[in-house]
């Protein structure tokens, strides 16, 4: 009974009216031929694949889940997943933004970003199979040897093979310096890898001919901690001389996790039993190579939650317009019916608008960041590439943590709109809540993202990256300073910018005395920073909508209403967050452990 319509109009609004993406792209030789019509046509077809092929498999895949044959160690994905993946490969979707040198179509990352949002709305569990492959592709593209690139990149580009990232072990998650998997060098230049990995998304399945595991392990003489980690390619089937799947490797699935959500994706326990692997990058420098994949995954997880927020919102709105319960307190709004549609009730409106504001704000941020990645990768100006890289570094933890936190709230609100019907499986809403919850945990918990933002990305360079984003905010505020119609947006934006600057300085001074002050403030700090970023994009969107409010297009009217809701009802959260952050470490650490 659930439904999904790709939000193409809003994507086009952000791409072409707010960010003028094609102007940015045309300045890069790699994308000089890309125009708005091409982008729109690709996304329209991508939306059809998401809504017509993947979406019908979402609820059935959740109910069926994945099955492991413990005799063969083979995993079967839910019914229809394999066929949908074949259509995905046949349609060339895997190659969308990949390097033409390896069979890719070379389209901008920003197009792939929008396409993947729709895939995630339609079916997050399915989308994780090809999604992880993009990360493996990027890591090998950046750090692989010529031979590794020759063998693996064309297959990952086409989608014939899929990829995974094998990091977590039973005794270590984020603290990868504790990992124990061993890699023994062989006379032929390969390595024999032994160990156990857990929580490996898409770790085993029947969708593709081969699975390319990127595995972190230790060499025999490796130093302790994270400085002694190396990265290896460990394929399920060792490619033969013609780069086809050959001998079965010693990497197999020993079990599947029983999870709260994303049941359609195989979260595997992978045993490495004398498996053959080849080194990626330099010995003991594996984290640098793996961070390419990890950062891509963090952006991808934010995109997963963006997709869930959108689809949950769409379904909640449709239900709220149809479901009749009680009368409005101010009198009947549907006197011809025995009760009013619940969309007339203020708190239902608040829940719906919260989801809408978080979806549309998240979309603007995600598309902007993807465009920055395109500049980082393809600009011919070195300074522009560096500036874009700094923006991406700053915004990555915000995308991962702020958007996923927001999605947890938004999907829960949307389930609440359905009342008791939201709690049962029939309408599909409870699945969105369950699926959304993992996104706050994996690829670095949101607390880790908060520590990364405050400790590394802000205090780590004395606020240089934050100041660059602050300059964008300041320039926009100054541009609109005399525009009376924009004051309701730019005044709170400017005020929050000043408050975040002061908060950053205050926490930094405390951290000189006790580094734990960073940990005490980080989560609150990230939400304040997230709201500053959202407020900036909402103000930019409001500017465009104001200029076109008399066009007769209700799209702009709705955009303005949503912007005003965001500034009136969601942004004020920052006041309590700043107060909490300033309360510091003492209220958290004063109580003796024995009293817990």
Residues with a catalytic annotation lie at 443
Go through the chain and tell me how many residues it has.
596
Long-range contacts of 462-465 (CB under 8 A, 24+ apart): 463/504, 463/508, 464/390, 465/390, 465/391, 465/393, 465/394
**Structure-token pair, residue 294:** 């990890």
Residue 123's alpha-carbon distances to 126, 131, 403, 436, 439, in angstroms, are 6, 12, 18, 12, 14
The residue among 312, 414, 358, 307 whose CA lies nearest residue 527 is 358
Q: Write down the residue that tokens 């791409």 correspond to.
A: 15
d(CA 465, CA 393) in angstroms, rounded, equals 8
HEC string of 77-122 equals: CCCCHHHHHHHHHHCCHHHCCCCHHHCCCCCCHHHHHHHHHHHHHH
C-alpha 34: how far from chain center: 25
Contacts of residue 224, Cβ cutoff 8 Å, sequence gap at least 6: 177
Residue 38's alpha-carbon distances to 33, 98, 334, 395, 508, in angstroms, are 9, 17, 44, 28, 47
HEC string of 443-510 equals: CCCHHHHHHHHHHHHHHHHCCHHHHHHHHHHHHHHHHCCCCHHHHHHHHHHHHHHHHHHHHHHHHHHH
**β-pairing verdict for 237-239 and 230-235:** unpaired
């Amino acid at each position: 009974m659930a439904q999904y319509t790709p939000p193409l109009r809003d994507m086009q609004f952000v791409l072409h009216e707010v960010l003028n993406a094609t102007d940015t792209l045309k300045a890069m030789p790699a994308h000089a031929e890309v125009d708005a019509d091409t982008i729109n046509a690709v996304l329209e077809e991508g939306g059809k694949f998401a809504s017509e092929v993947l979406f019908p498999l979402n609820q059935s895949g959740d109910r069926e889940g994945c099955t492991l044959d413990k005799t063969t160690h083979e995993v079967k994905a839910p019914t229809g997943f394999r066929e949908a993946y074949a259509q995905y490969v046949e349609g060339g979707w895997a190659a969308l933004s990949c390097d033409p040198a390896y069979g890719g179509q070379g389209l901008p990352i920003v197009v792939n970003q929008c396409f993947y949002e729709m895939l995630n709305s339609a079916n997050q569990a399915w989308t994780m199979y090809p999604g992880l492959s993009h990360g493996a592709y990027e890591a090998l593209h950046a750090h692989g040897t010529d031979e590794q690139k020759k063998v693996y990149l064309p297959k990952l580009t086409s989608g014939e093979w899929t990829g995974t990232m094998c990091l977590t072990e039973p005794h270590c998650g984020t603290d990868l310096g504790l990992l124990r998997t061993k890699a023994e060098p062989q006379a032929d230049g390969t390595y024999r890898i032994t160990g156990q990995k857990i929580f490996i998304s898409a770790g085993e399945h029947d969708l593709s001919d081969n699975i390319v595991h990127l595995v972190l392990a230790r060499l025999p003489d490796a130093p302790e901690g994270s400085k002694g980690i190396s990265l290896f390619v460990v394929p399920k089937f060792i490619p033969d001389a013609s780069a086809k799947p050959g001998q079965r490797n010693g990497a197999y699935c020993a079990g599947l996790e029983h999870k709260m959500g994303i049941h359609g994706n195989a979260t595997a326990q992978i045993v490495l039993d004398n498996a053959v692997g080849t080194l990626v990058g330099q010995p003991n420098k594996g984290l640098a190579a793996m961070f390419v994949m990890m950062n891509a995954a963090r952006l991808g997880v934010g995109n997963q939650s963006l997709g869930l927020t959108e689809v949950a919102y769409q379904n909640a709105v449709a239900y709220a317009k149809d479901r009749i319960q009680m009368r409005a307190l101010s009198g009947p709004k549907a006197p011809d019916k025995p009760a009013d549609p619940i969309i007339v009730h203020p708190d239902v409106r608040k829940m719906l608008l919260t989801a809408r504001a978080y979806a549309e704000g998240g979309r603007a941020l995600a598309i902007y960041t993807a465009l920055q990645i395109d500049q980082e990768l393809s600009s011919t100006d070195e300074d522009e590439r560096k500036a874009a890289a700094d923006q991406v570094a700053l915004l990555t933890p915000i995308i991962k943590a702020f958007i996923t936190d927001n999605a947890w709230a938004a999907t829960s609100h949307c389930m609440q709109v359905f009342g008791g019907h939201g709690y049962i499986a029939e309408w599909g809403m409870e699945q969105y809540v369950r699926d959304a919850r993992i996104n706050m945990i994996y690829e670095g918990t949101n607390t880790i993202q908060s520590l990364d933002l405050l400790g590394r990305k802000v205090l780590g360079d004395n606020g240089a990256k934050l100041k660059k984003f602050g300059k964008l905010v300041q320039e926009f505020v100054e541009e609109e300073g005399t525009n009376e119609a924009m004051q309701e947006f730019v005044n709170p934006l400017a005020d929050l910018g000043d408050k975040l600057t002061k908060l950053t300085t205050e926490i930094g001074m405390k951290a000189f005395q006790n580094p734990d002050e960073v940990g005490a403030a980080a989560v609150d700090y990230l939400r304040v920073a997230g709201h500053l970023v959202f407020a900036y994009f909402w103000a930019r969107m409001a500017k465009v909508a104001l200029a076109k409010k008399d066009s007769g297009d209700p799209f702009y009217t709705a955009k303005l209403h949503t912007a005003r809701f965001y500034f009136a009802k969601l942004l004020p959260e920052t006041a309590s967050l700043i107060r909490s952050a300033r309360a510091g470490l003492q209220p958290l650490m004063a109580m003796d452990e024995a009293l817990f």
